[in-house]
């Protein structure tokens, strides 16, 4: 059976499962869960994968993780398909529980992992469309599995990996620490967006928090007895805003005052600032961090306060897109009619993702895809679009393109070897 025949089998399997895949996506979209709380999504996805013929282990490495396997007895590349499905507070799936499903041939071949996300955002739910990321990952897994079974030979291993808590929780970093990617040869996933691109510049992100400590006093009766921690916070906030004039165009710094005082007539003795620092590389983030620390310390000194500086959350590295895998993916996507954004000006720096950390460990791609709206991610409008039926054809096409790309890794001579060479060059 030819490679093209197997690709058609993969696509046909996805089309056959389209209704079930939409049901999965809708179940996740209607019930957004925040990072590390994706219990309902875990149940829905594990039950579906069990029904589809994967052997499922619940709570794999993480409480909201599971591993579903169908192993090969031989060696070879391991391709991973990643899923995310955590949501955002109040807007749901504006932009993952951990799922690991492995289907392997009985012989040698690559180990390909397809990643899913499914966590949501506070207040706006699935405004990042992680319900669709999960659907793409499951669809790709179904398609790859069907082609592997039809091939009649040993071509490799498949892992469908659901990753919890991409929205700030860094679930993939936990999985990296647990060694989940040690035997993975390739990692694949797709993310919804207002446009379709094989690669978007996802940049590094580190968090920094300043807690200013002053002295409370009555603001009218004895203001001279106080040390105003809010003045320190405001001074720091304004100084960082002024510092942006000297920033490189690709640097991003944004923050909020998370604690500003109790009442207007009490001089605040405790305030708090939280910032995200972003840049194309971890080294550039370190430059911004050093400047930010200087500002925090100076603001404290000028107001007679003290400051504690901490680094909450897990640092996200920039995403390294593997050129060979990206080219292969684009070719496959175009073969089924997917149209890509032609204007390079629109491929501006995006947000940050823990997939960036994965891309430093295993050759990876993270294409983004249009879902029928020009609304930006992390908006209420994008939440609506992520649950709209118009998103389904675009989503299924991404699952097909990932499945066909995995089959190229399995069966097209030189693809895996060149992807590894790209990876070695990019991470040197």
Q: Which tens digits make up the pLDDT trace of 240-254?
A: 999 999 999 999 999
Residue 355 shares a structural domain with residue 392: yes
Q: What does the block give as tokens for 113?
A: 């992992």
CA distances from 189 to 284, 327, 366 (A): 26, 15, 5
Last residue of one domain, picked from the residues 296, 317, 338: 317
Residue 156 shares a structural domain with residue 27: yes
Residue 82 shares a structural domain with residue 136: yes
For 283-296, the pLDDT digits (tens) are 999 999 999 999 99
Mean pLDDT, the chain, as a whole number? 91
For 13-49, the pLDDT digits (tens) are 999 999 999 999 999 999 999 999 999 999 999 899 9
Last residue of one domain, picked from the residues 272, 290, 317: 317
Answer for the pair 216, 247: CB distance below 8 angstroms, yes or no: no
**Burial per residue of 229-241, b for 16 or more beta-carbon CB atoms within 10 angstroms, e otherwise:** bbbbbbbbbebbe
Number of domain units in the chain: 2
Residue 79 shares a structural domain with residue 89: yes
Q: What does the block give as tokens for 400?
A: 């097909």
Q: What is the mean pLDDT of residues 145-151?
A: 92
Domain hosting 252: range is 203-317
pLDDT for residue 96 is more than 80: no
Last residue of one domain, picked from the residues 287, 317, 347: 317
pLDDT for residue 270 is more than 60: yes
Answer for the pair 97, 86: CB distance below 8 angstroms, yes or no: yes
Residue 12 shares a structural domain with residue 141: yes
Answer for the pair 272, 214: CB distance below 8 angstroms, yes or no: no
Answer for the pair 74, 105: CB distance below 8 angstroms, yes or no: yes
Q: Where are the beta strands (DSSP E) in 95-189?
A: 98-104, 111-120, 122-126, 157-163, 186-188
Residue 87 shares a structural domain with residue 142: yes
Residue 382 shares a structural domain with residue 294: no
CB atoms inside a 10 Å sphere around CB 55: 14
At 8, is the secondary structure helix, strand, or coil?
helix
Residue 137 shares a structural domain with residue 87: yes
Q: What does the block give as tokens for 210?
A: 């300043």
Residue 77 shares a structural domain with residue 100: yes
Question: What span, in angstroms and rounded, lies between the C-alpha atoms of 82 and 406?
Answer: 13
How many helices (H) does the chain have, and how many strands (E)?
Answer: 12, 16
Chain position carrying tokens 């928090």: 209
pLDDT for residue 331 is more than 90: yes
For 409-423, the pLDDT digits (tens) are 999 999 999 999 999
Residue 399 confidence class, pLDDT cut points 50, 70, 90: very high
CB-based contacts of 425, cutoff 8 Å, min separation 6: none
Chain position carrying tokens 């989503």: 395
- Residue 269 sits in a domain whose CATH number is 3.30.70.360
Residue 347 confidence class, pLDDT cut points 50, 70, 90: confident
Which of 148-157, 281-290, 360-369 shows the lowest mean pLDDT across its residues?
148-157
Residue 20 shares a structural domain with residue 165: yes
Confidence at residue 324, expressed as pLDDT on a 0 to 100 scale: 99
CA distances from 349 to 279, 280, 293, 313, 345 (A): 9, 8, 24, 22, 10
Answer for the pair 369, 191: CB distance below 8 angstroms, yes or no: yes
Q: What does the block give as tokens for 60?
A: 């794999």
Residue 78 shares a structural domain with residue 22: yes
3-state helix, strand, coil in the chain (%, to 5): 40, 25, 35
Q: pTM value?
A: 0.90
pLDDT for residue 152 is more than 80: yes
- Residue 177 sits in a domain whose CATH number is 3.40.630.10
Confidence at residue 57, expressed as pLDDT on a 0 to 100 scale: 78
Residue 231 shares a structural domain with residue 185: no
Question: What span, in angstroms and rounded, lies between the C-alpha atoms of 418 and 421?
Answer: 5
């Amino acid at each position: 059976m030819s490679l093209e025949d197997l690709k058609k089998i993969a696509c046909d399997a996805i089309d056959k499962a389209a209704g079930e895949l939409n049901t999965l996506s809708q179940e996740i979209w209607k019930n957004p869960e925040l990072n590390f709380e994706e219990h309902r999504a875990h149940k829905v996805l594990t039950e579906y994968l069990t029904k589809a013929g994967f052997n499922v282990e619940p709570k794999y490495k993480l409480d909201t993780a599971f591993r579903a396997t169908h192993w090969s007895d031989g060696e070879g590349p391991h391709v991973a398909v990643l899923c995310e499905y955590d949501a955002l507070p109040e807007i749901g799936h504006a932009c993952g529980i951990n799922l690991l499903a492995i289907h392997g041939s009985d012989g040698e071949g690559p180990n390909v992992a397809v990643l899913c996300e499914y966590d949501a955002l506070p207040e706006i739910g699935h405004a990042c469309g992680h319900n669709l990321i999960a659907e793409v990952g499951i669809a790709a897994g179904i398609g790859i599995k069907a082609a592997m079974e039809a091939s009649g030979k040993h071509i490799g291993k498949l892992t469908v990996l659901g990753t919890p808590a991409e929205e700030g929780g860094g679930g993939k970093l936990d999985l990296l620490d647990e060694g989940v990617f040690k035997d993975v040869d390739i990692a694949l996933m797709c993310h919804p967006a207002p446009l379709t691109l094989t690669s978007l510049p996802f940049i590094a992100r580190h968090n920094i928090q300043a807690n200013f400590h002053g002295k409370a006093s009555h603001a009218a009766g004895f203001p001279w007895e106080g040390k105003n921690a809010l003045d320190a916070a405001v001074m720091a906030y304004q100084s960082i805003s002024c510092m942006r004039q000297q920033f490189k165009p690709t640097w991003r710094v944004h923050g909020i005052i998370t604690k500003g005082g109790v009442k207007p007539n009490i001089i605040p003795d405790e305030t708090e600032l939280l910032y995200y620092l972003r840049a194309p590389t971890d080294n550039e983030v370190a430059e911004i961090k050093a400047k930010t620390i200087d500002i925090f310390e100076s603001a404290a000194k000028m107001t007679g306060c003290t400051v504690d500086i901490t680094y909450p959350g897990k640092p996200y590295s920039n995403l390294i897109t593997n050129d060979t895998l990206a080219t292969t993916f684009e070719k496959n996507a175009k073969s089924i009619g997917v149209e890509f954004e032609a204007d390079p000006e629109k491929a501006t720096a995006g947000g940050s993702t823990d997939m960036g950390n994965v891309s430093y460990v295993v050759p990876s791609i993270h294409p983004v895809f249009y879902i029928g709206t020009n609304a930006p991610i992390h908006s209420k409008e994008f939440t609506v679009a992520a649950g709209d039926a118009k998103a389904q054809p675009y989503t299924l096409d991404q699952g097909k393109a990932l499945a066909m790309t995995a089959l190229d890794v399995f069966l097209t001579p030189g693809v895996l070897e060149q992807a590894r060479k790209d990876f070695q060059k990019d991470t040197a």
